[in-house]
Structure 1
Amino acid sequence: MILINLLPHREAARKRRKEAFQATMVASLLLGLVIAGGIHLAFQAMITSQQERNAVLHREIAILENQIKEIANIESEIAALRARQKAVEDLQSDRNMPVHLLNEIVRQLPDGVYVTNMRQEGQNIAIQGMAQSNERISEMLRNFGSGTPWLSKPELIEIVASNVSLSPKEQRRVASFNMRVRLLNSGEVQKAQEPAARGVSTSGK
C-alpha cells in the first residue's frame, strides 16, 4: 500500500529551522548578557578597589601635607630663634666695641699724635687730631690698617698745616688731620682670624 504525505513538510521544516535559529539567537543573547554583566561587575569591582586605594592615598597625602606644613612652621620658628639668638649675641659682643675702640686707639697711636675729637656712626669712626709731622700720620694709618684686627680701611680725608700755641711766646707747627676708619665687630674679627688660625694649625702639623 502506498502512503502519500499530503502535509506541507517543507513549511514545517522551515518553521522548525526558524524556531531553532530563534532559540539559538535568544541563547546567544542571554549568554552575551551574562558575559557582559560579568565583565561589567569585574570592571566595577576593579574601579571600586582603585577608588578605595585612591581615597587611602588622598588621606595619606593630606597627612603628609599637614606634616610638611608643621615641619615648615618648625623650621621657620627655628630660623627666627636663631636670628634672635644671633641678634642677642651681636648685641652682647657689640657692647664691648667702644672698649675695643678706645683700647686700640691708645695702642696704635704713635708718639707725637694727639686725638682731639672722635665720633662714631655705626661702625664708621671719624677721628680728628694733630700730629707733630706728616710721617707720624702715615705711621698711624699703617698701624690702623695692619696693626690691629679691630680697625680696618683707614682713610685720610684731610691734612692741614697749622700752628699751636704752647705758650704766649712759643708756637709749634703741627699737622691737623681728619680721617675715617672702620671698627669691626666680634664676628668680623673672628672670620678674619680663622684663616690665620688654620694656617698656624697646618704648619704645626
Structure 2
Amino acid sequence: MAHVNLLPWRAERRKQREREFFMQLGAAFVVSLGVLLLWVFWMDQRIDNQNERNSYLQTEIKQLDVRIAKIKDLETVRAHLLARKQIIEQLQADRSQMVHLFDELVKTIPSSARLTGLKQSGQSMSLDGVAQSNASVAEYMRNIETSPWMGHADLRKTENSHDSSRMPYTFGLDVSLSRPKTDEADDHQMPPPPVARTAAERAEIELMVKKFQDSAAQAKTPADRDRFNAMAKALEDAQTLPKPGASAKPETVPASVTTAGGAK
C-alpha cells in the first residue's frame, strides 16, 4: 500500500534553510567582529609604538635644542673674542702710527699756515686750519701727499674771512692715512735668533728652547703652537756650537772654543 506524505514538508524545508542562513549569518558576524577587534588591537599597538617613537624623538630634539643653544652661545663668545683679537692686532700694528703722524704734521705744515683742529676716523683724518693765502694751502697739500705716513689730500673747503688777521683764509682737508712699506716690513720682521759663543750661552739657549717647546705643548690654539715650535726650531738651527757632551768635529769647532768635553 502506497504511503502519501501529506505534511507541509516544503514549509519545514524553508524553515530549516532559514535557520541555517541565520546561523551562517551569526557565524559571519562573530568572525567579522573578531577580525575587527584584532584589527583595532593591532592599530592600537601601532599607535602606541608610534607615540613612543614620537616621545623619544621629542626628547632627543629638546636635547639637541639645548646643545644648539650652547653652540650658538659659544659662537657668540668666539665672535667677541675674534673681534677683540682683531682690535688688539690693529692696535699693535698701529702702535707707532700716531707718533709718526704727529711728527709728519709738524714737518709738512708750512710756516704760513696753522692747524686749528684735527680728527681721525680709521684710516682718514680731517684737518682744519688757517693760512695766509690759497698758495699756502696748496703747498700744505703737496707736502702732505709727499709724506710717507699720509696719502692723498682732498680740499674740503677754503674761505677768505676778510678779517684783519695775518691768516685770513680758513681751510679744511680730508687726508687718507698710509704706512710706509719699510715700516710694515719692520713690524713683521723677527730679529735673528741669538747664537751661542760659549758653553754657558749654549746651556742658556737650550733652556730657552725647552721653554718654547713647553709653551707649544701647552698652547691653546694651533697657531700659537706652530709659532712656539718655529721659534724653538729657529733657535736650535741657528746654533753652531755643539751641545754639551757631544763630540766636536775639528773642522766645525774653532780652536779657541772649549767644549764641554774639555777638547780645544
| TM-score class, shorter | 0.5 to 0.7
In the TM superposition, residue 75 of structure 1 has moved relative to its aligned partner by: 1.8
Give aligned pairs, total: 177
The TM-score normalised by the length of structure 1 is: 0.64
The superposition leaves residues 75-130 of structure 1 with CA deviations (integer Å, 9 ceiling, x where unpaired) of 22222333344455556667655423322223434xx5355444234543323355
Does structure 1 residue 99 correspond to structure 2 residue 91? no
The TM-score normalised by the length of structure 2 is: 0.52
Q: Cα–Cα, structure 1 residues 180 and 105, in superposed 2: closer, same or farther, change >3 Å?
A: same
Q: Cα–Cα, structure 1 residues 76 and 90, in superposed 2: closer, same or farther, change >3 Å?
A: same
Decide whether the 8 Å contact of 1:159 with 1:175 is kept in 2.
no
Q: Distance in 2 between matches of 1:115 and 1:37?
A: 105
Decide whether the 8 Å contact of 2:100 with 2:149 is kept in 1.
no
Q: Distance in 2 between matches of 1:177 and 1:151?
A: 23
Q: Cα–Cα, structure 1 residues 88 and 183, in superposed 2: closer, same or farther, change >3 Å?
A: farther
> Whose RCO is larger (CA < 8 A, sep 6+)?
1
Q: Distance in 2 between matches of 1:115 and 1:95?
A: 28
Question: 1:1-205, aligned counterparts within 5 Å?
Answer: 1-88=1-88, 96=96, 98-109=98-109, 113-123=111-121, 124-130=126-132, 134=135, 136-145=136-145, 147-150=147-150, 152-155=152-155, 156-158=157-159, 177-182=169-174, 189=178
The superposition leaves residues 172-202 of structure 1 with CA deviations (integer Å, 9 ceiling, x where unpaired) of xx865433334657xxx47x98xxx9xxxxx
Q: Cα–Cα, structure 1 residues 163 and 11, in superposed 2: closer, same or farther, change >3 Å?
A: closer
Q: Which secondary structure does the structure 2 equivalent of 1:127 belong to? A: strand
The superposition leaves residues 59-81 of structure 1 with CA deviations (integer Å, 9 ceiling, x where unpaired) of 22222222222222222222233
Q: Cα–Cα, structure 1 residues 175 and 16, in superposed 2: closer, same or farther, change >3 Å?
A: same
In the TM superposition, residue 145 of structure 1 has moved relative to its aligned partner by: 4.0
Q: Distance in 2 between matches of 1:21 and 1:62?
A: 60
In the TM superposition, residue 56 of structure 1 has moved relative to its aligned partner by: 2.2
Letter in 1 for 2:128: A
Decide whether the 8 Å contact of 1:152 with 1:181 is kept in 2.
no
Q: Distance in 1 between matches of 2:20 and 2:94?
A: 107
Runs of 5+ consecutive residues of structure 2 not aligned to the other structure: 186-264
The superposition leaves residues 133-185 of structure 1 with CA deviations (integer Å, 9 ceiling, x where unpaired) of 82x54232123246444355442523679999xxxxxxxxx865433334657
Q: Distance in 2 between matches of 1:162 and 1:13?
A: 140
Letter in 2 for 1:23: M
Q: Distance in 1 between matches of 2:4 and 2:72?
A: 103
Q: Cα–Cα, structure 1 residues 63 and 56, in superposed 2: closer, same or farther, change >3 Å?
A: same
Structure number with larger C-alpha Rg: 1
Decide whether the 8 Å contact of 2:154 with 2:175 is kept in 1.
no
The percent identity for this pair of structures is 24
Higher share in helix: 1
